[in-house]
Amino acid sequence: MSKKLINKARGLSDKAIAWIFITPTVLLLLAINIYPLFYAISMSFTNFYANKIGKEIKWVGLKNYIKVLGKESVWERMQITANFMFWTLLIQALIGLGLALLLNKKFKGNELLTTLIVLPMMLSPAVVGTFWTYLYNPQVGVFSYIMNFFYNFGPIDMIGSSVLAPWSIVIVDTWMWTPFTMLICLAGLRSIPDYLYEAAEVDRASRWQQFIYITLPSVLPFLLLALLFRGIENFKMFDMVVELTSGGPGSATELASIQLKREAFEKWKTGYSSAYAVILFVTIFGFGNVYVKVMNKIKDR
Amino acid sequence: MLDSARSPAESSGFSRKIAATIIIVYTVVTLIPITWIILTGFKSVDGAITYPPEVFFKPSLEGYVNLFTTRSRQSQEYLDSLPPPDTWYEELVRSREMVIAGPSKFFGRYTNSLIIGFGATFLSVFLGALAAYAFSRFKIPLKDDLMFFILSTRMFPPIAVAVPIFIMYRKIGLGDTHLGMIILYTVVNLSLAVWLLKGFMDEIPREYEEAAMIDGYTRMGAFFKIVLPQATTGIAATAIFCMIFAWNEYAFAVLLTQFNAQTAPPFIPTILGEGGIDWPAIAAGTTLFLIPVMIFTVVLRKHLLRGITFGAVRK
Amino acid sequence: MEYYMKNKFIILISSLVFALFSSTSAKSESITLGWAAWDPANALVELSKGFTAETGIDVNFEFVPWPNFADRMLNELNNQGKTFDLLIGDSQWIGGGAVYGHYVKLNDFFDQEGISMDDFSDATVYAYSTWPKGTPNYYALPAMGDALAWAYRKDWFDRPELQSEFQAKHGYDLGVPKSWDELYDMCTFFQGREIDGQVRYGAAINTERGSEGITMGVTAAMYAWGMQYENPDKPYEMEGYFNAPHVVEAVEFYKKMYEDCTPPGHSDAYMGANLDAYKSETVAFQMNWYAFWPGVSKEDADGRVTGFFANPCQETCAATLGGQGLSVVSYSDKKDLALEYMKWFAKPDVQAKWWSLGGYSCHKDVLGASDFVDSAVYAQGFLDSMGIVKDFWQEPTFVELMLPMQEHIHDYVVNGKGTAKAALDNIIEEWVEVFEADGKL
């Protein structure tokens, strides 16, 4: 393959090569990401239904946006999503960082253990959601069984109870994605040059001081980066939760993107759901921007 | 020497032991669900729903047989009228008073996953490497803006762009095709691939290619023969992340594919047995589905951590 | 470089596999039929072997699991996809199938082939074939009759010590419940009771959130309390009908059933979970479709363990309709072959075999045969139920109507949010919106 290309490309200037190399990526992103975004924005001002072929499409101005923002249920779903994100990010940051610090101690077998810990991350979220309904089953599931080893709770109904259901999705997400935070933190820890600690030793800094003044500041940008990725992913969270609780009981775990899916692909309210999607996108984009700015400031310090 | 012995990387034996103990406990806990999935794959359909759950049981391949076949229940008289079963799996199915009606869709869905997963991984790493090289080596107008644009495309919720993509694909005939899904997953992975790979390309000294070009290579030749082999680590790490995503993606697959190009993730959760949910078959499917991505990761494992380090540092 | 070699190899293999696949699926004379993945579908595969033997036309099947059935099939139709030549679509889809032109209108074909809708049971023709409802415009052939019914643990009921205890407590015999009140008494009687050293529970009822589950369960109670969706004289006027006091009572009753009678964790259960709960000997009753009874009763050849009964009456007698009609997809390129299959399927002898294999024929010759009632323990119940069935909206917009019902009923029954009246009011509010957008109001 490369032979042919080489012959063809003989004599191409650097500038031409630069464009040849970049163009496919940019074109694909424009076609599959930017075009749909603008399409969605333009649809959000109409009463379009994608399943009603031949029905006249009418311009409705800001009506869809007013409708979305005026719906109590939309605000409820936002709150559910925010809750989910807060707890998953907090727990994953703490456990992930903790594990990374421990793994960084380089004991025997830690290569193997790292690989094993990373396994849950490789499963398909939808399949994970499905299988956890089985694990959570208070009768035949192993979760309730193990919990009752420690204390006699009786059958634990994780998915059916409106109090426990939000926690059931937090637990599964944490189980699955803590390894991700851990990996990135570990990468950060490994990138701290030894001479920093050596210098600290010379200054007679205590272990605790070394941790506070060297380890933590060095690993923080990595942790924040991991949380950024997790935050973006969990804001979009759909598959695992849909398979685990289908948003229930009632709508106690119906995240914003699950509601969006139901509006867009079950009710086929394309116009309305486009407005909803744009609102969600602006939200994550705004938060993401602020977060990245804060992150860069911390990194520069 | 005494000093460096006290740095966290080489801490005392005692704290190392504590660390190892905690890590092992965590590993055991985190592996319980996965172990349970693998065990359930070898249970019988009835054995999977006993109370309390059984840890020790007589293994059965029913789950795997059910995963690959569709069956229908028949009366004893009808079964008696059939010639004796030719194969062990037919015998197993007959012993449950059923006959095999035909193969299930699992094999086809799994093949779709292989085609789309590997196709998209290859394409995104390839295109990502080209773009990353250009960004790393050449002067490009608005370079930083272009890079940020590429990153920002990762923030779109799939559901938000799924409707327009659905309509667009319907118009140009890419709906429910392998090619359509490969392109889609490639694009979703491109942002990650470009950013990670640019970090690696930056690390490779320009002198290497310049020397090669003096020896008569063109710029293109130097890229393929010199730069790419040098970037193997980065390519491997990028490929792992792209693969994990493309292999497991669900939302686009469930919304944009129907019967031709549907991958396994939307299929596995919906395996139903006779009436009830066929947990052994679901577990068997999950186990088989984990294997390729696990092998892929284990093979490329050494590069994983380094890959993250570089990519992250560059950001 | 090695990396690239590897990838080349992978591409080579995948393209080989791909070529292998596309060549096997390219056969000359074949049609594709779509349905849900469940017991009767496997029976249909057995049955259709006869069609292939007779005509040489191969029949391919695409069975979609229930939770995704509506989603996937309606997507395909909205896409004007050619995957299917024949579709056994849910009863509620008939409106959309007719109005949006997804289904072929069958009147001419029926006339030409001498297929008379009078040969099929009236309730099933009304439910599965006609749009607008009750007019002689046919878009499907009744293929699979079905309704929601109950199975119970006859062997537990037959125990003398339990019988006398029940009699002492409630003053009447432990047997097939004649009303929802009796059903409730019996369910609570078994709830938490230890039988043969294991704790048992009352009933496995529909509570699923994701597709149509809880709606298909709660309506079994609502219909029995005499619920009407709309003013019979003024279509789409739902206020005062759908949220009438007796309907509120029915929904409250269903919640009481959920709270007092179901096993722990039965909060997102439909067909599969109900069967599992029953099969694992956890519950005394299960609510489910007739379609599953052949499977349940086959495991119990002498009929000692399980008994079946139709939906109990309360204020009135009614049952939730299930079942499907067989339609020809108008986007298919092989409509002629598809119609040939339909013609074959409508034959009385094929219909008789359909019933014997575990499908629920709607043909009067089959249902009216002298030995029909004795041919299965649940046959009489099926006949009774099919006479009193009621269905959810069959409007083209039925999915939009289903979603708020699922959400608000689940929110009230399982999540315990608000009141039954508020749930019904909320549903009506969203329904009005749907009908307004559709120009019906």
Q: What is the pLDDT of residue B308?
A: 59
What integer is the mean pLDDT of A141-161?
A: 88
pTM of the model: 0.85
Fold of A69-300: MetI-like fold (1.10.3720)
CA distance, residue A76 to nearest chain C CA (Å): 13
Cα–Cα distance for residue pair C286/C266, rounded to 1 Å: 12
Q: How far apart are CA B156 and CA A34, in angstroms?
A: 10
CATH for B107-314, options being 1.10.15.40, 1.10.3720.10, 3.40.630.30, 3.20.20.70: 1.10.3720.10
pLDDT in tens, B17-59: 889 999 999 999 999 999 999 999 999 888 888 877 888 888 9
Contact assignment for B176 to C43 by CB distance below 8 Å: no
Q: Flag if A194 and B315 touch (Cβ within 8 Å).
A: no
Domain C30-146+323-380, CATH among 1.10.150.110, 3.30.200.20, 3.40.1160.10, 3.40.190.10 = 3.40.190.10
Q: What is the mean pLDDT of residues B55-81?
A: 84
Do the beta carbons of residue C357 and residue B73 sit within 8 Å? no
* Chain B contact set for C83 (CB, 8 A): 258-260
Could you tell me if C157 and C187 are in contact, meaning their C-beta atoms sit under 8 angstroms apart?
no
> Quick check: C8 and C37 in contact, CB under 8 A?
no
Best to test chain C binding among A71, A251, A253, A254 (most C CBs inside 10 Å): A251
CA B250 from chain centre, in angstroms, equals 11
Domain boundary assignment for chain A = 69-300
Dihedral angle sign, alpha carbons of residues C146, C151, C154, C157: negative
Say yes or no: C331 contacts chain A, CB-CB below 8 A. Answer: no
Cα–Cα distance measured from residue A252 to residue A94, given in angstroms and rounded to the nearest whole number: 26
Mean pLDDT of B189-209: 84
| pLDDT of B312 above 70 | no
Residue C252: how many other CB atoms lie within 10 Å: 16
Q: For residue A130, is it left (φ>0), alpha (ψ between -120 and 50) or beta?
A: alpha
Residue A184 has, within 13 A of its CA and on its CB side, a CA count of 24
pLDDT at A3 over 80: no
CB A100 within 8 A of CB B279: no
Burial of C340 (0-12, 13-18, 19+ CB in 10 A): middle
pLDDT digits (tens, 9 = 90+) for B101-123: 778 889 999 999 999 999 999 99
pLDDT digits (tens, 9 = 90+) for A228-259: 889 988 998 999 999 999 898 988 999 999 99
Residues with Cβ within 8 Å of residue B155, at least 6 apart in sequence = A232, A281, A284, A285, A288
Chain A touching partners, 3 or more CB pairs below 8 A: B, C
The residue in chain B having the minimum alpha-carbon distance to the alpha carbon of residue A122 is B244
Q: Are A168 and A187 in contact (CB under 8 A)?
A: no
Domains C30-146+323-380 and C148-320+397-437 share a fold: yes
CA-nearest residue to C71 within chain A is A266
Could you give the 3-state DSSP secondary structure of residue C386? helix
Nearest CA in chain A to B152: A285
Domain ranges of chain C: 30-146+323-380, 148-320+397-437
What is the ipTM score, two decimals? Answer: 0.87
Contact B277 C7 (CB under 8 A): no
What tokens were used for B60? 């059965």
Rounded CA separation A72/A75 (Å): 5
Minimal C-alpha gap between A50 and chain B (Å): 8
CA distance C342 to C345: 5
Distance from CA of B86 to the nearest CA of C (A): 19
- Which pLDDT band holds residue A297 (cuts at 50, 70, 90)? confident
B269 within 8 A of B282, measured Cβ to Cβ:
yes
Taking the alpha carbons at both ends of chain A, their separation in whole angstroms is: 47
What angle do the packed helices B13-40 and A142-150 form, to 10 degrees? Answer: 140
Is A8 a residue whose pLDDT tops 60?
no
What is the pLDDT at residue C28?
A: 61
Residue C352, judged by CB atoms within 10 A of its CB (0-12, 13-18, 19+), counts as middle
Beta-carbon separation of C71 and A266 below 8 A: yes
Q: Which of C43, C65, C276 faces B276 most closely, judged by CB atoms?
A: C276
Residue of chain B with shortest Cα separation from C25 = B260
Which residue among C14, C280, C296 places its CB closest to the CB of B51? C280
Would you say residue B168 has pLDDT above 80?
yes
> Could you list the pLDDT tens digit for every one of the 441 residues in chain C?
344 444 554 554 554 444 444 444 444 689 999 999 888 888 898 899 999 999 999 998 888 888 778 888 887 888 788 889 999 999 889 999 999 899 999 999 999 999 999 999 998 999 999 988 889 999 999 999 999 999 999 999 999 999 999 999 999 999 999 999 999 999 999 999 999 988 999 999 999 998 899 999 999 999 999 999 999 999 999 999 999 999 999 999 999 999 999 998 899 999 988 998 898 888 999 999 999 998 888 778 788 899 999 999 999 999 999 999 999 999 999 999 999 999 999 999 999 999 998 899 999 999 999 899 998 999 999 999 998 999 999 888 888 899 999 999 999 999 999 999 999 999 999 999 999 988 888
**How far is the alpha carbon of A179 from chain B, nearest alpha carbon, in Å?**
10
* pLDDT recorded at residue B144: 76
Nearest CA in chain B to C288: B275
Architecture of the domain made up of C148-320+397-437 = 3-Layer(aba) Sandwich (3.40)
Instruction: Give the CA angle between residues C176, C177, C183 to the nearest 5°.
Output: 130
Contact B49 C11 (CB under 8 A): no
Q: So what's the pLDDT on residue B15?
A: 82
The token duo for C33 is: 């039929």
Query: Within the 10-39 window of chain B, which residues sit less than 8 Å (CB to CB) from chain A?
Result: 10-11, 15-17, 19-20, 22-24, 26-27, 30-34, 36-37
Chains touching chain B through at least 3 C-beta pairs below 8 angstroms are A, C
φ/ψ of B73, rounded to 5, equals -75, 135
CA distance A104 to chain B (A): 6
CA C133/CA C405 separation, integer angstroms:
22
- CB contact (8 A) between residue B228 and residue C1: yes
Rg (alpha carbons) of chain B, rounded to whole number: 25
Give percent of chain B above pLDDT 90.
28
For chain C, give percent helix, strand, coil, nearest 5: 50, 15, 35
Q: Report the SS3 class of residue C317.
A: coil
Q: Is C280–A252 a contact, with Cβ atoms under 8 angstroms apart? A: no
Least reliable range by pLDDT among A262-276, B1-15, B134-148, B205-219: B1-15
Cα–Cα distance for residue pair C434/C393, rounded to 1 Å: 12
Q: Is the pLDDT of residue B92 over 70?
A: yes
